[in-house]
């Protein structure tokens, strides 16, 4: 995918289509939390860039120093 100045990376909808799982983490307090991509798509819109999720405040410590880990769901996980 070509990245231009207006494109902020992959969207929530693209991650859902690719069967990806997302986990938010805080660098400040080392807290990890799985993200529900389907719920994010409904509440924030399917075109929300994944990198914008990382700009949200950590619910635990309030820091903005957060990130998102992406991982491809395994075949077994998709069927459960």
pLDDT in tens, the chain (80 residues): 444 435 567 899 999 999 999 999 998 999 999 999 999 999 999 999 988 887 777 888 988 888 899 999 776 665 55
pLDDT for 5: 36
- The full set of domain ranges for the chain reads 12-79
Chain centroid offset of residue 40 CA: 9
* Rg, Å, the chain Cα set: 13
Specify the pTM.
0.73
pLDDT at 8: 65
Please check whether residue 18 is in contact with residue 72, taking contact to mean a CB–CB distance below 8 angstroms: yes
E-state strands within 1-80: 20-26, 32-35, 66-72
For residue 54, give Cα distances in angstroms to 9, 64, 67, 77, 78.
12, 8, 5, 24, 25
């Amino acid at each position: 995918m070509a990245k231009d100045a207006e494109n902020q990376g992959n969207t929530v909808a693209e991650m859902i289509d690719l069967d990806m799982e997302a986990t938010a983490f805080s660098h400040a307090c080392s807290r990890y939390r799985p993200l529900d991509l389907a719920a994010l798509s409904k509440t924030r819109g399917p075109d929300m860039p994944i990198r914008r999720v990382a700009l949200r405040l950590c619910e635990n410590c309030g820091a903005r120093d957060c990130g998102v880990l992406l991982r491809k769901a395994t075949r077994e996980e998709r069927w459960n």
